[in-house]
Amino acid sequence: MGERTQYAPGTFCWADLASTDQPAAKQFYTSLFGWDAEDIPVGDGAVYSMMRVDGKRVAAIGPQGDAQREAGAPSAWGSYVTVESADASAAQAVELGATVVTEPFDVFDVGRMAVIQDPQGAVVRVWEPRSTIGAELVNAPGALVWNELSSPDTAASTAFYSALFGWEVAPFEGMDNYSVIRVGEASNGGITAPQAPGAPPHWLVYFGVEDLDASLAQLEELGGANIAGPIDIQIARIAVVSDPQGAVLALYDGQLDP
C-alpha cells in the first residue's frame, strides 16, 4: 500500500473531479471504488466531497465552477503536481509559454494552488502544500496510480514540463511514442501522442482496481461507458472510461509501485 506523508516537488499528489452533478458523481464513484465520502463545507452552501479508502484521502469530488458551468463544459478530472511555491511555478510557467488560467490563491489553510494551461493546451494544477499534502494513499485499488499527458507535440511538452518541474522524461521500452516521467528514482506518469484523431490535449488520471473486467461490468451497470479497453500493456490491463456525466478517467489492474 502506497501510504504517503509527503511528496517531493514535481510529484503528482492529488486528483479531483469538477462535476456537473456532484451528488450523482458521489454515488457513482463510491459504488465503483468503494470510497467513503466526507462533505467539507467550502462556502455559499457548496461542499467539497473528500473521498477516502480505509480512512485515507485518495481524491475529491466538487461542483463545477460558475465559468465552467456557463460555458457548458463537461465534468472533468484535474491533476495536481506538488511544488515548493505556487506563485513561483505559475510565473515560471508563463515564462515558458503557458497561460495561468487561475492565479495562485490560498485554499483555506491547507495549501496554495494555481491552474495552468501548458503551451499545447493541457491543463494542470500546481499545489503548494501547507497542512495538507494531497492524497494520503496512492498506488492501491481505489487510489490514484498514474497521470498521463496526451499531447500533439510530445517533444515540446517534454521540454516544457522538464523545465517547469525538473522531470526526467525517457522513452518507455516496448511502447512506441510513449515516455515515462520520473522524479528522482520514482516513476511519476507518462507522455504520449493522442490516441484518437482530434482528441484535445489533456491529462488523464488512472485509478487502481483489483479486477478490471469486474470493474468494467460494474461501471456500465452504474451508467458509465467503456471508451477503450481492456488493453494489455504487459505490466497491467487498463481501460479508458467515462462516468455518467462524461468525465474521462482510466482504470488500472496490474503491477503497482510501493
| Residue 130 DSSP code | S
**H/E element holding 22?**
helix 22-33
Q: How far is CA 193 from CA 72, 173, 176, in A?
A: 27, 16, 10
pLDDT-based confidence at 1, cuts 50/70/90? Answer: low
Mark out the alpha helices in 57-183 (DSSP H runs). 66-70, 86-95, 154-165
pLDDT score, position 195: 80
pLDDT score, position 77: 98
Structural domains of the chain sorted by starting position, each given as residue range(s) with its CATH number in brackets: 8-129 (3.10.180.10), 138-254 (3.10.180.10)
Looking at the DSSP assignment, which residues form a beta bridge with residue 15? 79
Residue range 149-177: mean pLDDT, rounded? 92
Q: What is the pLDDT of residues 115-160, one digit of tens each?
A: 999 999 999 999 999 999 999 999 999 999 999 999 999 999 999 9
Residue 245 in contact with residue 24, Cβ under 8 Å?
yes
pTM of the shown model = 0.96
Residue 175 predicted with pLDDT over 90 = no
